Structure 1
Amino acid sequence: MSDAYLELVNSGVTKTLAKKLGLPRPAHLRRTDPAAVDTPLIPGRAMVIGEGPDADAIARTLLGWDLDVHRNVPDGRIGAVVVVLTDLTRPEQASQRVLALGSVLRSLAPGGRVVTVSRAADPGDEPAVAAVRTGVDGLLRSIAKELRAGATGNGIVLGDQISPDAPSAVGALRFLLSARSAFVDGQFVHVNTADGVAPADWTRPLQGRVAVVTGAARGIGAEIARVLHRDGAQVLGVDVPAAGESLATVMNQVGGIALQLDITSGDAAARIIERATSRYGRIDIVVHNAGITRDKLLANMKPDHWDSVVAVNVEAQLRMNGAFLAADGLSPDGLRLVSLASTSGIAGNRGQTNYGFSKAAVIGMTRALAPRLADGAGTANAVAPGFIETEMTARIPALTRQVARRLNSLQQGGQPVDVAETIAFLASPQAGGINGEVLRVCGQNLVGQ
C-alpha cells in the first residue's frame, strides 16, 4: 500500500507547507533498482574516521570497490562515513572520532550511510574496555535518530579475533552501505567468526544456491523469492493449496518450483526435501516466512486462536528444522536458515500475546540452532520486521496506520523488499560469520532495543 502522506510532503506546495508547519517529512529511501546499470554503491564520497591497522584495512576495502575514499574531510557531498572504534580502550578516547563525525554530518548526502565498526564487549573485559565498547551501542542508536533525508546509521560489531577485512565483516559493510539496507537503521550486525566467502559477483552472490521459501505466494514471501532469484538462487516456493494460483504466478516469475502443502503436516519437511533434491540435488537456504496472526486481547483469547498461531509460527519450524538437520549432505556448503521474527516478539504488542509469544519463540529457537548448524558450516539467523506495507497492515484503521508509520527514525513504513534484501544478505556466502543473530528491519522503530 502506498503512503500518500509521504508523497504529499515531498512534492509541490504541500512540501513547502509541511516544512513551514514543522510536520514530519519522511524521505524517499534509496533502494536497489534491478533495472539500473552501474548504480553507485553510495551516493557520494566515502570517509573513514579512525587510526591504526583496522582503519587502514577498511579504507583498502572501500578502495577495492572503486569508491572515492578520504581520511580527512572531503569537499562536496559525503555518501558514507565509516567510524572505526575497534582500538579504543577507554571512553575518553572516543571524543576525537565522534566529534569528527559530527562535523561532517551536515555534508551527508540524502540516503547516505554512517557505519560504526567496534569490538564486542566481553564479561572478562576490564571495566574501562567494557564501558567504551558498550557505549558504542548508545552512540550509534542516538546518531541514527539524528540523521535526515533517508540517511541511516548502523554498526558492525567484531569479535575480538575478527579482522575488519574478514569475509563477513566486509559483507556486512557492503550491505549496510548499499541501497539494500534502506529500512535497516539503528542496528548492529555482530560478526562472530571469520567464516564466510566473498562472492565472485557481488550482484549475484547466491549463484548456484537452492532456496526454499515458505509462505511464498504473496507479500513478503513473494518478494523474498524474487530477491533470492535476482541474486542467483533457484527457488522452491511453498504455500497452502488455497494460495496455489498466486504461488504459481510468483514461481513462474522467478523460474522456480511451486509446492502446495500445509507446513503443519507431519510430512512437510520430507516433501520439501524430496521435491528440491529431485529437481536441484540440494537445499542451501531455508527461509521460514510462513506465519499467521489471530489477534485478540488475552481476556478474549480462544484456544484455537492461541494454538493455531503457535502451530504455524513455531511448531512447524521446529519439526522441519529437525528434519533438515538430520538429512545428510543436504547442502555441501552449509545450510542457511533464516526465520521471520517480529518486533512484536521483542517489545510485545497489545492484542498479540499469541503472536508475540510465537515470534519471541522463533528468536529463542534461532539462537539455540546456531551452534548446531555451525558444526556443519551453516548458520541460523532471524529477521524481525517492524511496520511493513503489506495487505495485513493495510487492514489497520487509517489513523492507527498513520501513527504506526511515523514511529521510527525514518518516519515511514518499510516495503516487503526491505525484508527480502536483509534475508538475502544473511543467506549469502559472505555472511557465514554471522550466526544466531536477530537483525531488525524496522527503520529504528521506537520499541525494544
Structure 2
Amino acid sequence: MTDTYAKLANGKWTSGLFKTLKLPQPVKLTRFSQGSDLISGRLLIGAATDSELIKPIIETFKDADLAIAYPHNTKELADLNEQFNHSALNATPISLAAISKADKFNGIIFDASGIKTSQQLSALHRFFQPVIKQLSACSRIIILGRPSEHLEEVSYATAQRSLEGFCRSLAKEIGKNGSTCQLMYVQAGSEPLLNAPLRFLTSAKSAYISAQVIKVKPGVLPETINLVKPLQGKTALVTGASRGIGAAIAETLARDGAHVICLDIPAFKQDLDNIAHRLKGSAIVADITAKDTPAKIADFVRGRSLDIIVHNAGVTKDKTLARMTNNHWDVLMDINLSAMERINHQLLDEDLLNQYGRIICVSSMSGIAGNFGQTNYATSKAAVIGYVDAMQKPLANKHITINAVAPGFIETKMTAAVPFIVREAGRRMNSLKQGGKPIDVAEAIAFFAQPQAAGVTGNTLRICGQSLLGA
C-alpha cells in the first residue's frame, strides 16, 4: 500500500513546505535485502566503568568497522588488547572529547551493566551526549544491562531498571531520522548467547522495531552456526500462511533455509498452494478451529522433523461491548487463542516438536494498549502474551523457546480498508512516523526461530516503530 503522505513529505518540490509547516517527514527506512551485509557502517562501542559485557560485544562485532570508547580510569584497554589481537580487529580507540562532526556512526552499543547506583547513571549522559548527533540516518543504538529482578542490591536493581526510561526517551529523540534504540537485559550466565540478538538488533532486519526490551537468558547454543542460512535443515509450520503477514513469514523463513509447511483455511486453498509451491514447501488445508485439526497437523508432521511453529492465524470481529454478540466473542477467541493452545498441546503431548524447537506467537499492540471496539480481540491478544510468559518455564526442560511479536500499524490489505483519517493517525502515531511492512514482522519471527537465539525466550517484541500508545 502506497504511503502518499510520506512521498510528498520527502518529495523534491514539496519537502520544503512540509519542513516549513513543521509536519512529520518520515525517513525511508533501510531494510535488509538478500545479499546485503547484515552489519554495515561504523559502530561505536562504549561502556560504563566496571561493566561486564563489553568483551562479548566486541567478540560479536570483531569483523565490523569499530570505534571503541574505553571507560575512564580502568585497565580495560590493556585487558582487551590482550584478549583480542588488535591486528585482527578493525578497531580504533576513540576519545569522546575528540569526537568531531566528521565522525559518523551507523550504530552505538553501550554496556551499562556496571551502573550500580543512581549517581553512576551520569555515565549515560557523559557517553551519549557528545555522540548522539553523529548518528547516520536509520542507525541503531543498543544499551545492555542486567535484569533488575535478578539483582540483590536495591541500588543496583534501581539503577538498572532506569535504563528502560532512558532507552524509550532516547528512541523518541532519534526516531525522526529513522534511527532506533533498544535495551537488552542480560542475565548472568547468558553472555555467550549475545551474538544473535545483538546482530539482529544492529541490522536492517530490525528497521521497524524501537524502544523494546529484550531479555537474554542462559541457553544451549548449536555446535555450528550458519549466518547466511540460519534455518538450513529446519522445518517450520506457519498458520494463516496464504497471504499478508503470514505469506511474508513463510517467505522469510524459506529465505533463511527452512522447509515451510503452510497452513490456511479451505477458502484460501489456491493462494496457499501457490505460496507452498513457490517456496518448495508443503501445504495443509485446514480450519484451525476444527476439532480434528490438531490431530491432522500431528499426522502430517509425524515422521518428519518439526522445529518451528508460528501461530499467525487470527481475525478481528470489532464491535463495542454493548453491541457484541456471543458469536463475535466466541468465534474470535477460538481462532486467536484456543486453537493455538490445542495445536501446541497436541504436538507437545506427542513429542512432535523437536528438542531446541521454537514457538512464535503473534499478539498485537491491541493486546498491550487496548483499542476501541476490540474488547474481544484485545483480550485474546493479551492472553497470547500471558501464554508465552507462562509457557517459557515448562518448555525450558527441552530447550524449547517461546516468544511473541506484537505488530502495530502494518501496511496490509486490511489496513488499506481502514478509513483515511484513522489510517493516517495509525501511520503517524509512532516515533518513526510511518507504518510498518509485513516483512518487519517476518524478520522478527525469523530471528526468534534461529537456533542461535537460544537465550531469548518469554519475550513479547513490539513491531510498531515505538507506537505512542501502549507500554
TM range (shorter): over 0.9
Write the distance in 2 (CA, Å) between the matches of 1:317 and 1:408: 30
Question: 1:277-316 maps to which residues of 2 (within 5 A)?
Answer: 277-278=302-303, 281-316=304-339
Mapped to 1, the partners of 2:41 and 2:435 lie a distance apart of 22
Asked if structure 1 preserves the Cα contact closer than 8 Å seen for 2:260 and 2:279, the reply is yes
Match of 1:344 in 2: 366
Q: Secondary structure at the match of 2:356?
A: coil
Q: Shift in Å at residue 16 of structure 1?
A: 1.5
- Does residue 1:67 correspond to 2:65, yes or no? yes
How far apart, in 1, do the equivalents of 2:120 and 2:334 lie? 51
Query: Take 2:13 and 2:224, find their aligned partners in 1: how far apart are those partners?
Result: 47
Name the CA shift for 1:310/1:55 in 2 (closer, same or farther; >3 Å): closer
Aligned partner of 1:149 in structure 2 is: 177
The answer (yes or no) to whether the contact 1:220–1:419 under 8 Å persists in 2 is yes
Look up the match of 2:448.
Answer: 426
Return the offset for 1:69: 3.3
Structure 1 range deviating more: 179-188 or 361-370 = 361-370
Partners of 2:228 and 2:7 in 1: how far apart? 30
2:130 aligned with 1:108: no
Q: Given residue 246 of structure 2, which amino acid in structure 1 is its aligned partner?
A: G
CA displacement 1:345-373 (0-9 Å, x = unmatched): 11110000010011011111111211111
Structure 2: gaps spanning 5 or more residues: 70-93
* Match of residue 225 from structure 2: 200
Following superposition of structure 1 onto structure 2, how do residues 373-384 of structure 1 map, counting pairs within 5 Å?
373-384=395-406
How far apart are the structure 2 equivalents of 1:144 and 1:156?
14
- The question of whether the paired residues in 2 share the 8 Å contact of 1:42 and 1:112 is answered with no
User: Does 2:259 align with 1:261?
Assistant: no
| CA shift digits 1:312-345 (9 cap, x unpaired) | 00110111111111122531x4221100001101
Counterpart code for 1:229 = A
Deviation of the 1:125 alpha carbon: 2.7
Aligned to 1:7: 7
The whole-number CA distance in structure 2 between the counterparts of 1:4 and 1:102 is 35
Partner of 2:255: 230
Contact 1:236 1:276 in 2 (8 A): no
**Following the alignment from structure 2 to structure 1, what is the Cα–Cα distance between the partners of residues 390 and 369?**
20
Percent identity, please.
37
Tell me the residue number matched to 1:41. Answer: 39
| Aligned residues of 1:19 and 1:25 also touching (Cα < 8 A) | yes
Give the deviation of 1:201 after TM superposition. Answer: 2.3
Output the TM-score relative to the length of structure 1: 0.94
Which position in structure 2 is the counterpart of 1:127? Answer: 154
Equivalent position of 2:52 in the other structure: 54
Residue equivalent to 1:214: 239
Structure 1's unaligned 5+ residue stretches are none
Give the TM-score, by structure 2 length: 0.90
SS at match of 2:353: coil
**Range with bigger deviation, 321-330 or 137-146:** 321-330
Aligned-CA RMSD value? 1.7
Structure 1 counterpart of 2:343, from 300, 320, 329: 320
Q: After TM superposition, give the deviation of residue 429 of structure 1 in Å.
A: 0.9
Q: Deviations over 1:200-249 (max 9, x none)?
A: 22121111110000000000000000000011100000000100111111
Q: CA deviation at 1:88?
A: 1.5
1:90 aligns with 2:112: no
Are 2:22 and 1:22 aligned? yes
Deviation at 1:62, TM superposition (A): 4.2
Alignment partners' CA distance in 2, 1:51 and 1:131: 17
Q: Which amino acid aligns with 2:328?
A: H
Q: Do the aligned residues in 1 keep the contact of 2:48 with 2:115 (CA within 8 Å)?
A: no
1:330 aligns with 2:353: yes
Tell me by how many angstroms 1:76 deviates.
Answer: 2.5
Letter in 2 for 1:27: V
Separation in 2, partners of 1:58, 1:438: 24
Distance in 1 (CA, whole Å) between partners of 2:130 and 2:409 is 32
User: Between Structure 1 and Structure 2, how many residues are aligned?
Assistant: 441
